[in-house]
Amino acid sequence: MIRIGLDIGGGTGTFAARMRVHNITIVTTTMNFDGPFNSFIASRGLVPVHLTVGHRLPFSDSTLDLVHSMHVLSNWIPGPVLEFLFYDVYRVLRPGGLLWLDRFFCVKTQMNETYAPMVYKVGFNRLRWYEGRKMDRGERMNEWYLSAVLQKPIN
């Protein structure tokens, strides 16, 4: 059962608003680059938190049921920082908790050589793993999306 979660880079809080309809509380992080995102999220009756990807997540161990990220966690984040973030997400998820990577993008070679091994190293199990071409910058860029649901093991 999902009761509480975190949306990393949640923009204006739309994911949190949709989850609230199902009685699920989602804390939404923003990087708020001189934008009013935190204020707007709060005006919707949602919970905003200002964080960067280099911050440690402000939650106790094993407290969240779900961590979601759409477009934010991708290959623009240096590998060691992303690995730190994955370990921190693992820390705050309860056993059986889910990490939902929605449209994580990278170059195809990075998918198999860097990111898939990183997910296994941290300890997540794959529940869903879908790779598809990202075509908005052209085929020659060889960019790919990953949409995945990963689970922290129960034991």
Mean pLDDT per 10-residue interval, the chain, length 155 residues: 94 93 94 76 90 88 96 81 94 98 85 88 95 78 87 93
Which pLDDT belongs to residue 37? 83
Q: Is 0.85 surpassed by the pTM of this model?
A: yes
Report the distance separating Cα 54 and Cα 71, nearest Å.
Answer: 17
CA-nearest of 97, 46, 37 to 72 is 37
Residues in Cβ contact with 91 at an 8 Å cutoff, skipping those fewer than 6 apart:
57, 61, 62
Total domains in the chain come to: 1
Q: Is 84 helix (H, G, I), strand (E, B) or coil?
A: helix
Q: What domain range is 32 assigned to?
A: 4-151
105: domain CATH number is: 3.40.50.150
Which pLDDT belongs to residue 127? 97
Which pLDDT belongs to residue 33? 61
Report the distance separating Cα 98 and Cα 85, nearest Å.
Answer: 14
Which pLDDT belongs to residue 147? 92
